[in-house]
Amino acid sequence: IEKDTARLQQIADRFSKIGSSSLLTPVQIIPILEKTIDYVKKRASKNIKFLFEFQDDHKGLTMNLSTELFSWVIENLLKNSIDSLQNTGVVKIVVKHKIRNQYIIDVIDNGKGIPSYDFKKIFDPGHTSKKRGWGLGLSLCKRIITEYHQGKIFVLKSNPFKETTIRILITK
């Protein structure tokens, strides 16, 4: 019951931050990603392999984030990857440095992929390829990354059953 209560509080906190001015605070990103991956991994099929790659010098990487909202984005992307895998496959998160203070966070899977004509549409409210759902997850992800974190989120590439990459660009 305590875990359920804590999860409901987290969900309420996330929704309360949407539409309000979000305070960004300096936080270490790697532990946030590890915690989010661990949460999703525990609820996924044992046939799905999760990989997390980052350079050792990124272990203490600090960024200005809204922890709850950023974690929500990663959780949503991981859950979408799991859905695309249909119970077996690989989901990988890669953190890397681009230039100056810009960092890349890639969420990669080998699921069914995204048609190129949908690369931009998947972030529109109401767009969904699922039988269930309202098509709000990725539109919220985009809003959180662009409006709250002044970053970018987009489909980098998609090759069905080989590699689909959703990329987040964030300035430290």
Q: How far is CA 8 from CA 14, 22, 42, 93, 120, in A?
A: 10, 20, 17, 26, 31
Which whole number is the average pLDDT over 5-25? 67
Residue recorded with tokens 């709250």: 148
pTM: 0.85
Among 8-12, 19-23, 122-126, the range of highest mean pLDDT: 122-126
Token duo for residue 61? 């990487």
**Among 53, 43, 54, CA closest to 78:** 43
Q: Are 39 and 74 a contacting pair, CB within 8 Å?
A: no
Which is more confident, 6 or 30? Answer: 30
- Per residue in 87-129, pLDDT (tens digit) is 899 999 999 987 788 899 999 999 999 999 999 899 987 667 7
Residue 133, C-beta contacts closer than 8 angstroms, at least 6 positions apart = none
pLDDT in tens, 149-169: 999 999 999 999 999 999 999
What's the token pair of residue 92? 């990988």
Residues 76-81: what's their mean pLDDT? 95
DSSP 124: S
For residues 107-135, one letter each, b for 16 or more C-beta atoms within 10 angstroms of the residue's C-beta and e for the rest, the string is bbbbbbbbeeeeeeebbeeeeeeeeeeeb
> At 15, is the pLDDT very low, low, confident or very high (cuts 50, 70, 90)?
low
Supply the pLDDT for residue 18: 65
